[in-house]
């Protein structure tokens, strides 16, 4: 729900931009260039950031680079998936196509197992809706590279690395950040190895001593562990909601971000 | 600095090649041995074999080709597998650091794999692969498929992203940190003579290079433009900043020239392949953003093959798309039934085996001309890292040329 709300806020911000709201006047180059903290309109850039969930005017704002307002979101998201309807309490269908299926199922004469059939259709519709909502927040179709017992980047990290490979944006592959070469598919790590850099694609060791339980880590929604794994979005928020340096998901003052997972 | 020689070629040893299991993961010799033992025992082996069959693997380690057909039925793309599958002599790598041992393991210690391959170039003899994770450029000769590392780049090249060669053998490298570098030739005598052609302050983040005649095109992702330089004189030509319809160039991550000197530029942010004529005048782009047929999410690299077809590697779609010379979509190569697909294709180049050999070109023409073409796809984060794909024309009756 929080994510959906975030998405709505971002879209609202982009809509405001389209309708002529104040926009940053400087060239907000994607990829980490310095951002001028002034704007041409009445609002200051921090205010715009606040209103648009930190995307507008941030390093992930491609509007000034492409000249298209929709690229506040569309550079990473696929807008045509927005035709998805949210799931109702009764588990009704979420998409137009699914709605048709569900309606047919409800309109049909009730055989003895009609209730079971309705339940199945509703379940499928709900699953489809969840998948569709997930698709809203990533580049659709991105398939994860998870392999059992291997540390590989998840689907969300692949989106980041699709740009942060040194081409579109600064590299997280060849540098000492994240995992130098560890993001390669099939990377194996021996027991007891001490990481020099923070890994991604690794299962969160919630049952090990020294780690905060996953439920507590994710409790306030700032730190995310997609599919129970540590990914780029675990420490960084591409929407820059917190307005922290390096797009950190939360302030790391007094190592707060580190200590959100690591018990020391 | 001396060339960092790699071992002499040796016959391939059975079972050393890494294989894909059911999920597409690579498994080593230990797993193979264990699998065979389990097979003797019975039921586990059956499961393993079923897994291999479903993923395109086989007990012998060979890759089962995955075939894709164009809607017109006139073209097929066949994923042949790992280009380095037959790399011989990989068990005497002279130098291996701790990270290599951790990554590749003791038993495979000598088989130096590419870490994060991106831009490539093939001149008919040598395939050059930019490997940012290795901070160098790998040179893979077709004759023995041994991976050698271009010397004297370790200190100068930090993040090589793309490479190209011109007709005279000069090598150009786009390094996003160090700038654009040039070497007179890839020979023992001249390989140490690297010079910086464009310093970082001249090309702020060079991410792609292509050369046609004496004109070198450099994609600058930070400035959002394509620089053009006359190599002989160093004179800067007018930079290209806009595509057709006034579309700004944002991130020209892949460049390629066609035979007539037209320039193609894959723009990873705009989601199109810009086209320009020899003078730099914008032409109608190839593709558009989206996930439909012939559309792009994150087009990272582009190449033109012998037939004039245009091949684009799209990291967002996790696929490779093929267009005809006019920009009409033909076929998409992506994972699916029988093949797990690319993880993040970041580079593509034509692998024309006759490009550097007239005799081979003649033989090729005798045996069917342009019916079969090959490309190599660099899967930056996937395995295998270099995937060989064959494109072949099909006669109307379904028979191959």
* CA-based radius of gyration for chain A: 21
How many angstroms separate the CA of residue B124 from the nearest CA in chain A? 26
Reply yes or no on whether the pLDDT at B241 is more than 60: yes
For chain A positions 87-116, those within 8 Å of chain B (CB to CB) are none
Q: How many residues does chain A have?
A: 264
| Average pLDDT for A225-254 | 89
Nearest to B351 by CA among B379, B374, B334: B374
pLDDT band at A178 (very low <50, low <70, confident <90, very high): low
User: What is the pLDDT at residue B152?
Assistant: 52
E strands, B241-295, where?
252-257, 263-267, 272-276, 282-286
Please, are residues A238 and A248 in contact by the beta-carbon 8 Å criterion?
Answer: no
What's the 3-state SS for B318-375? Answer: CEEEEECCCCCEEEEEECECCECCCCCEEEEEECCCCCCCHHHHHHHHHCCHHHEEEE
Hey, what's the torsion of the CAs at B95, B100, B102, B107, to 10 degrees?
-60
pLDDT of the residue at A151: 56
What pLDDT is stored for residue A158 in this prediction? 82
Q: What is the pLDDT of residue B195?
A: 84
Give residues 12 to 71 of A whose Cβ lies within 8 Å of B. 29-31, 33, 62, 65-67, 71
Q: What is the ipTM of this complex?
A: 0.75
* pLDDT level of residue A43 (50, 70, 90 thresholds): low
Q: Mean pLDDT across chain B, nearest whole number?
A: 75
Residue A190 has pLDDT above 60, yes or no: no
Contacts 24+ apart (CB under 8 A), B363-372: B368/B401, B369/B401, B370/B306, B370/B307, B371/B400, B371/B401, B372/B401
Angle between helical axes of B43-55 and B29-41 (0-180°, round to 10): 130
Predicted model pTM? 0.73
Q: What is the pLDDT of residue A44?
A: 65
Interface test with chain B among A151, A158, A167, A168, by most B beta carbons within 10 Å: A167
**pLDDT greater than 80 at residue B231:** yes
CB B115 within 8 A of CB B149: no
pLDDT for res B113: 63
Separation of alpha carbons B241 and B248, rounded Å: 6
Mean pLDDT of chain A: 63
Tell me whether residues B99 and A180 touch, CB distance under 8 A: yes
Cα–Cα distance for residue pair A90/B294, rounded to 1 Å: 39
- Say if the Cβ atoms of A65 and B269 lie within 8 Å: yes
Q: In the structure, what pLDDT confidence band is assigned to residue B215 with cuts at 50, 70 and 90?
A: very high
Per-residue pLDDT band for B119 (boundaries 50, 70, 90) equals: very high
Residues of chain A in contact with residue B161, where contact means CB-CB under 8 angstroms, are 166-167
Distance (Å, rounded) from C-alpha B295 to C-alpha B93?
43
A231 three-state secondary structure: coil
Q: Does position B57 have pLDDT exceeding 70, yes or no? A: no
More confidently predicted of A143 and A165: A165
List CB contacts of B157: < 8 A, sequence separation 6 or more: B135, B136, B137, B173, B175, B178, B181
Angle between helices A96-107 and A114-136 (to 10 degrees): 170
Residues of A in contact with B290 (CB under 8 A): 78, 80
Nearest chain A alpha carbon to B105: A188
B99, B161, B251 ranked by CB distance to A181: nearest: B99
Q: How confident is the model at residue B86 (pLDDT cuts 50, 70, 90)?
A: low
CB-CB neighbours of A238 under 10 Å = 19
Cα–Cα distance, B136 to B93 (Å, whole number): 16
Tell me what pLDDT residue B359 has. 74
CB contact under 8 A, A181 and B116: yes
Q: How many whole angstroms separate alpha carbon B239 and alpha carbon B157?
A: 24
**Predicted local distance difference test score (pLDDT) of residue B364:** 67
Say yes or no to pLDDT of B70 above 70: yes
- Mean pLDDT comparison of A221-230, A235-244, B132-141, B241-250, highest-scoring range: B241-250
Whole-number pLDDT of residue A116: 78
Which of A227-241, A247-261, B180-194 is predicted least confidently? B180-194
The Cα B313–Cα B323 span in angstroms is: 12
Nearest-by-Cβ selection for A190 from B102, B116, B118: B102
Decide if pLDDT at B132 tops 90. Answer: no
Give the residue among B158, B180, B175, B280 at the shortest CA–CA distance from B231.
B180
Residue B246 has pLDDT above 80, yes or no: yes
Q: Specify the pLDDT at position B339.
A: 79
Q: How far is A32 from chain B (nearest CA, A)?
A: 9
Of A168, A174, A184, the CB nearest to B269: A168
Is the Cβ of A148 closer than 8 Å to some Cβ of chain B?
yes
Which of A56-65, B9-18, B108-117, B338-347 is predicted with the least confidence, judged by mean pLDDT?
B9-18
- The pLDDT of A157-164, averaged and rounded, is 86
B69 vs B312: which has the higher pLDDT: B312
Query: What tens digit of pLDDT does each residue of A65-85 get?
Result: 877 776 777 777 765 543 333
pLDDT in tens, B294-326: 999 899 999 999 999 999 999 988 899 999 999
User: Can you list the pairs that A39-48 forms with residues at least 24 positions away whose Cβ atoms lie under 8 Å?
Assistant: A46/A243, A48/A13, A48/A21, A48/A22, A48/A23, A48/A24
Q: Do B158 and A174 touch (CB under 8 A)?
A: yes
Nearest by CB: A150 against B25, B158, B221: B25
């Amino acid at each position: 729900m929080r994510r959906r709300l975030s998405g709505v806020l971002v879209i609202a911000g982009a809509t405001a931009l389209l309708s002529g709201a104040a926009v940053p006047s400087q060239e907000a180059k994607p990829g980490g260039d310095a951002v001028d903290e002034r704007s041409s309109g009445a609002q200051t850039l921090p205010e715009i950031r606040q209103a648009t969930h930190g995307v507008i005017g941030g390093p992930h704002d491609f509007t000034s680079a492409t000249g298209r307002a929709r690229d506040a979101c569309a550079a990473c998201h696929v807008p045509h998936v927005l035709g998805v309807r949210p799931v109702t309490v009764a588990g009704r269908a979420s998409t137009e196509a699914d709605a048709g299926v569900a309606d047919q199922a409800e309109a049909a004469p009730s055989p003895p197992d009609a209730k079971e059939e309705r339940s199945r259709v509703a379940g499928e519709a709900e699953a489809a809706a969840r998948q569709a909502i997930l698709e809203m927040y990533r580049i659709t179709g991105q398939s994860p590279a998870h392999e059992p017992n291997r540390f590989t980047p998840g689907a969300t990290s692949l989106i980041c690395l699709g740009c942060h490979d040194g081409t579109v944006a600064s590299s997280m592959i060849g540098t000492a950040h994240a995992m130098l070469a560890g993001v390669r598919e099939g990377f194996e790590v021996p027991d007891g190895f001490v990481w020099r850099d923070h890994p991604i694609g690794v299962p969160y060791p919630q049952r090990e001593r020294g780690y905060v339980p996953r439920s507590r880590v994710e409790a306030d929604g700032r730190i995310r562990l997609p599919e129970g794994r540590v990914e780029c979005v675990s420490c960084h928020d591409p929407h820059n909601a917190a307005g922290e340096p390096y797009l950190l998901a939360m302030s790391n003052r007094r190592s707060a971000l580190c200590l959100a997972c690591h018990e020391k | 600095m001396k060339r960092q020689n790699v071992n002499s070629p040796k016959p391939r040893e059975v079972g050393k090649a890494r294989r894909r299991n059911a999920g597409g993961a690579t498994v080593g010799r230990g797993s193979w041995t264990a699998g065979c033992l389990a097979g003797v025992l019975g039921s586990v082996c059956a499961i393993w074999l079923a897994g291999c069959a479903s993923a395109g693997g086989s007990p012998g380690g060979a890759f089962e080709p995955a075939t894709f057909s164009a809607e017109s039925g006139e073209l097929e793309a066949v994923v042949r597998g790992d280009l380095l599958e037959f790399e011989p002599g990989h068990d005497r790598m002279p130098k291996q650091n701790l990270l290599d041992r951790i990554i590749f393991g003791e038993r495979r210690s000598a088989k130096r794999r590419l870490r994060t391959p991106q831009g490539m170039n093939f001149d008919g003899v040598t395939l050059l692969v930019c490997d940012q994770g290795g901070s160098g450029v790998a040179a893979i000769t077709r004759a023995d498929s041994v991976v050698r590392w271009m010397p004297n780049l370790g200190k100068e090249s930090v993040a090589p992203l793309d490479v190209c060669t011109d007709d005279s053998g000069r090598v150009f490298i786009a390094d996003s940190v160090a700038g654009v570098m040039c070497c007179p030739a890839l020979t023992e005598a001249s390989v140490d003579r690297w010079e910086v052609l464009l310093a970082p302050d001249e090309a702020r983040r060079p991410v792609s290079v292509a050369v046609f005649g004496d004109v070198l095109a450099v994609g600058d992702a930070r400035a959002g433009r394509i620089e053009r330089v006359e190599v002989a004189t160093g004179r800067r030509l007018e930079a290209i900043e806009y595509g057709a319809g006034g579309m700004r160039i944002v991130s020209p991550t892949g460049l390629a020239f066609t035979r007539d000197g037209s320039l193609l530029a894959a723009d990873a942010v705009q989601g199109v392949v810009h086209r320009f004529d020899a003078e730099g005048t914008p032409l109608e782009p190839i593709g558009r953003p989206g996930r439909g047929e012939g559309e792009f999410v994150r087009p990272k690299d582009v190449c033109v093959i012998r037939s004039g077809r245009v091949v684009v590697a799209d990291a967002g779609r996790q696929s490779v798309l093929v267009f005809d010379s006019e920009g009409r979509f033909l076929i998409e190569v992506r994972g699916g039934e029988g093949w797990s697909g690319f993880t993040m294709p970041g580079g593509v180049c034509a692998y024309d085996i006759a490009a550097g050999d007239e005799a081979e070109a003649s033989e090729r023409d005798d045996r069917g001309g342009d019916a079969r073409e090959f490309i190599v796809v660099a899967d930056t984060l996937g395995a295998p890292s270099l995937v060989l794909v064959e494109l072949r024309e099909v006669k109307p009756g379904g028979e191959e040329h």
